[in-house]
């Protein structure tokens, strides 16, 4: 359900809408936990509102991501470790459309590791992408969290 909502909601509206929904449904403590720099007392501040969604997305990205980016070496290592059957799932958890993932896989049909490496590099090159903890979270969601320590060594 959340993935469908995310796909249908413009990125600039996702964080403000999520904060609003959490506050309205009685989960202000989650706003406190996950968006500490963008609210006060469980209520979105003027910096985090629908009137300034780019600030909201930026603040939330900072709150949810460490500053360390995934290195090219880690991408190469992970591309060799990731099971073929988890390629699409990881890509979706990194924000790519399932059909886009299928297209990339077909393009690199003879080398799945190359397809995985390509999509991870594309994700890392995005302005808001490439943070190590975001990748770790996506690996957990794709149920391959055991790879987290392996690709970092």
Give per-residue pLDDT as tens, 95-151.
888 888 888 888 887 787 888 888 899 988 876 678 888 888 888 888 888 888 888
Indicate the length of the chain as a whole number. Answer: 153
For residue 61, the model assigns a pLDDT of: 46
Same domain, 76 and 59: no
- Number of domains, the chain: 2
Q: How confident is the model at residue 25 (pLDDT cuts 50, 70, 90)?
A: confident
Nearest-angstrom CA–CA distance, 122 and 130: 9
Q: How confident is the model at residue 56 (pLDDT cuts 50, 70, 90)?
A: very low
Residue 78 burial by Cβ neighbours in a 10 Å radius (0-12, 13-18, 19+): buried
Same domain, 95 and 60: no
Q: Which tens digit of pLDDT belongs to each residue from 87-110?
A: 888 888 888 888 888 888 888 877
Where is the domain boundary, 37, 64, 91? 64
For residue 15, the model assigns a pLDDT of: 83
User: Which residue range(s) make up the domain with 96?
Assistant: 72-152
Same domain, 25 and 50: yes
**Strand 39-40 to strand 43-44: parallel, antiparallel, or no bridges (unpaired)?**
antiparallel
CATH of the domain at 86: 1.10.533.10
Judged by DSSP in three states, 150 sits in: helix
User: How many alpha carbons lie under 13 Å from residue 39 in its C-beta half-sphere?
Assistant: 24
- Between 74 and 27, the more confident residue is 74
Neighbours of 130 (CB within 10 A): 20
């Amino acid at each position: 359900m959340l993935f469908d909502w995310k796909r249908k909601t413009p990125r600039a509206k996702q964080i403000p809408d999520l904060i609003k929904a959490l506050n309205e449904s009685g989960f202000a403590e989650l706003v406190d936990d996950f968006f500490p720099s963008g609210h006060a007392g469980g209520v979105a501040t003027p910096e985090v509102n629908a009137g300034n969604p780019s600030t909201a997305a930026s603040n939330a990205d900072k709150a949810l991501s460490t500053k360390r980016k995934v290195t090219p070496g880690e991408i190469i290592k992970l591309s060799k470790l990731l099971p073929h059957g988890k390629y699409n799932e990881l890509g979706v958890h990194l924000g790519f459309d399932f059909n886009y993932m299928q297209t990339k896989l077909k393009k690199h049909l003879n080398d799945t590791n190359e397809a995985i490496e390509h999509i991870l590099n594309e994700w890392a090159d995005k302005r808001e992408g490439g943070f190590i903890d975001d990748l770790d979270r996506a690996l957990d969601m794709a149920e391959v969290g055991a790879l987290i320590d392996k690709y970092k060594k």
